[in-house]
Amino acid sequence: MQIGNVGKSNFTKAVKALLNRIYDNTVVADSLYEQAALWFSQAAEREQQRAEREQQVFLFKDRQAQASKGDQALIERNLQQAVSEQERFSQQLQQEQLSRYETLRQLCSDILALSEGGSFEETNLQTAKMLGTIQLMSPTEGKNVAPSNQKSKHLYKALLSLRLLDRLLIDGDINHPYIVKRYQANAKTSAEDLYQPFRDDVQIPLLMAALLQDIGSCHPDAQLILKGVSGDLDEFRILENDERTELLKISYRESLNFFVQGIGIGAYHGNSKEQRDWYLQNEREKQAFVVFLLKNAIKPEQGAGNLLKIPQIYTSVVLSTKANYSYESLPKVGLVLEKGVEKGIYSPVAVAGLLKITGVFPQGYGITYIPKDSDRQDLDRYEYAIVTSLYPENPRTPVCRMVTRNLTYNVSAQGCVVSVDNNLYYPQARKKLERISEERLLEILSKLVSNFEERKSMALLPKCWHPEEYFSYSKNQNLWNKAVINQN
C-alpha cells in the first residue's frame, strides 16, 4: 500500500461536511436529522403550551364579558398580556420553522453547487466524484458498515435523483406539468439571473424530498420499533413483517408532517405586494410539489415519484444497512432493479434510465482485472482499479482509474474501460487465471495487500478489492482528474 499522509482532500472534506449537515450525532444536534428528532420529541410540549395560551386568552375574554365595570380595566390588561404571550409563542414557532426551512434550502443549494458543472459532462463528472467519494469513505467490512451507510445514504440517493431527472427529461420521459413548465422556462433565463425556475423550483425541492423521505424514522414511535422500549435492540436487524409495515407507515406519515409543519415555506422579504403574492404562491406550489413527490414515491407506477423510488432502491443495495451486507455483491444492484421490472414493481423507463447513468458497478467500487500487454494479449496477473465515471458505454464495462500497474501502486493519469472478459467479477475472466500456479497468485497478493500475513487466506482470484484503505491517503483522492482511457 502506498505510503503517504492519511487525511482528506478539500473535496473529500466538502462531501464529509455535507454528510454531517444531513445526519450526525453530536452535542450541538444541528444536523437535519437531529433537528427533526428534536422537533418530534417536543411535539407534546408544543401542543400543551399552545393549548395553555389559547385557554388563557379564552378565559380572560369570558371574564371580560361577564365582569363589572370596575374589573374591566384589570381584565383587559390581563387579556392583552395573554394575547401578547400567545403571539410571541406563535412568532417563536414561526421563526424556528423558518430557520429550519432556510437551513434545508441552503443545504440543498450547497449540494447542487458541489454536484453541478457548466455542462452535462462536467455535471456528471462532479456527481461521479461525489458518489465515488461517499462509497470510498464508507467502511466495507466490520461493525461500522451499517451506521456509516445509514449516515451516507440520504445524500447518495439525492444525487441519483438529480441525475435521473436529467436523464428522463432528455429522453422526454417526464410529463409532469410542474416540472416541464419550469424546465422550459429555464431556457428564457441567463446564468446571472437570481431566480432560476428549474434550479429553484424543481432541483432544490427534489433534493428536499430525497433528504426528507426517511426522516420520519426519527419519530419516537418509529424509534420504539427500531430500538425497543429499553433502547437496546439492534436497529439494523431484520424486522418482523408487522413491525416493518408499521415502521413504514409511521415514517411516511411523519416525514410529511415534518416537512409541512416543521419546515413550512420561505418568508418574503421586501415591500412589493405584487412580488410578495407571487413569492408566496410560488412557495406554496413548491411545497405541494415536494408533498406530491413524497406521496407518489410509495406507488409511483410511471409517475414522477420514481425520481425518489428508484434511487432509493439502488441506494438501499449499494449502501445497505442489513446484516448480510456484502461488498462483493454490490454489482447485483442492477439485477435487483431489473427483477423488480420483470415483476411489474418498478418502472422500466426509470430503471433503464438510472442504469444507463450508473452502469452495473457503483462509483468507487474496487475492480480487479486482467491487464493486456502492448500486443493486446492478456498478462498472467491481475491489477486493481476503481470505478470513476458515470455513463459507461456498456453497463457491464465500467470506466475506471488504474490504481496499480505492474503490481505497484501508482498515482497516474491512466484510466481503462474494463471488459467483461477481463473483469474478475465475472466467472469467464477468473477462468483465464485458473491455470496460474498458487505460488504465483500468492506472490501477486503479497504485492497488492499491506498485511499479507493476515490476508493470505483471501481468495486467490478475488472478484473485487476493497479500496477504503487506499483512499484514506489524501494523495490518492484525486481519482477524477483527466486520464488517458485505455480499452482493456
Which residues lie closer than 8 Å to 108 by C-beta, 6 or more apart?
A: 204, 207, 208, 211
Cell of 292: 406530491
Residue-range definition of the domain harbouring residue 483? 366-487
Rounded to the nearest 5°, which phi and psi values hold at 144?
A: -90, 0
> Once rounded to an integer, what is the mean pLDDT over residues 5-15?
87
Q: Give how far Cα 260 sits from Cα of 291, 343, 424, Å.
A: 8, 34, 49
Of the pLDDT bands very low, low, confident and very high (cuts 50, 70, 90), residue 454 is: low
> Once rounded to an integer, what is the mean pLDDT over residues 229-238?
94
**Same structural domain for residues 325 and 390?**
no
**Same structural domain for residues 480 and 394?**
yes
- How many C-alpha atoms does 97 have within 13 Å on its Cβ side? 18
pLDDT at 161 over 80: yes
pLDDT at 5 over 80: no
**Same structural domain for residues 299 and 386?**
no
Domain stop point among 357, 387, 413: 357
Cell of 42: 417536543
- Determine, yes or no, domain membership for 15: no
306 Cα distance to chain centroid:
15
**Same structural domain for residues 206 and 183?**
yes
Tell me which amino acid residue 112 is: L
- Determine, yes or no, domain membership for 191: yes
- Determine, yes or no, domain membership for 10: no
DSSP state of 201: I
**Same structural domain for residues 164 and 146?**
yes
- Determine, yes or no, domain membership for 54: yes
SS (H, E, C) 35-93: HHHHHHHCHHHHHHHHHHHHHHHHHHHHHHHHCCHHHHHHHHHHHHHHHHHHHHHHHHH
Q: Which of 409, 368, 373 is nearest to 385 (CA)?
A: 368
Tell me which amino acid residue 191 is: A
- Determine, yes or no, domain membership for 254: no
**Same structural domain for residues 168 and 302?**
yes
How high is the pLDDT of residue 72? 80
**Same structural domain for residues 40 and 133?**
no
Q: Give how far Cα 44 sits from Cα of 38, 40, 41, 56, Å.
A: 12, 8, 7, 18
Of the pLDDT bands very low, low, confident and very high (cuts 50, 70, 90), residue 304 is: very high
Task: Kindly list the strands in the beta sheet with 484-487, ordered across the sheet, starting from the edge strand earlier in the chain.
Answer: 366-369, 383-387, 399-402, 414-417, 484-487
Residues linked to residue 417 through DSSP beta bridges, in sequence order: 399, 487
Average per-residue pLDDT for the chain: 93
| CA dist., res. 109 & res. 200, Å (int) | 9
pLDDT at 3 over 70: no
| 276 or 187: which leads in pLDDT | 276
- Determine, yes or no, domain membership for 319: yes
**Same structural domain for residues 407 and 457?**
yes
How high is the pLDDT of residue 384? 96
Q: pLDDT digit string (tens) for 404-428?
A: 999 999 876 689 999 999 999 999 9
DSSP state of 239: P
Strands (DSSP E) found in 324-460: 366-369, 383-387, 399-402, 404-405, 408-409, 414-417
| CA dist., res. 369 & res. 432, Å (int) | 11
Cell of 289: 410539489
DSSP helix/strand/coil, 411: coil
| CA dist., res. 245 & res. 321, Å (int) | 18
Q: Give how far Cα 152 sits from Cα of 23, 129, 305, 383, 385, Å.
A: 8, 15, 21, 29, 23
Domain stop point among 103, 137, 159: 103
Q: pLDDT digit string (tens) for 181-217?
A: 999 999 888 888 899 999 999 999 999 999 999 999 9
Rounded to the nearest 5°, which phi and psi values hold at 66?
A: -105, -10
How high is the pLDDT of residue 1? 52
**Same structural domain for residues 279 and 314?**
yes
- Determine, yes or no, domain membership for 179: yes
- Determine, yes or no, domain membership for 237: no
Q: Give how far Cα 69 sits from Cα of 66, 75, 77, Å.
A: 10, 10, 14
The terminus-to-terminus CA distance of the chain in angstroms comes to 24
DSSP state of 363: T
Domain stop point among 340, 357, 374: 357
**Same structural domain for residues 167 and 310?**
yes
Which residues lie closer than 8 Å to 239 by C-beta, 6 or more apart?
A: 225, 247
Strands 414-417 and 484-487: parallel
**Same structural domain for residues 387 and 466?**
yes
Rounded to the nearest 5°, which phi and psi values hold at 298?
A: -65, -50
* Number of domains making up the chain: 3
Of the pLDDT bands very low, low, confident and very high (cuts 50, 70, 90), residue 484 is: confident
Q: Which helix (H) or strand (E) holds 303?
A: none
**Same structural domain for residues 198 and 66?**
no
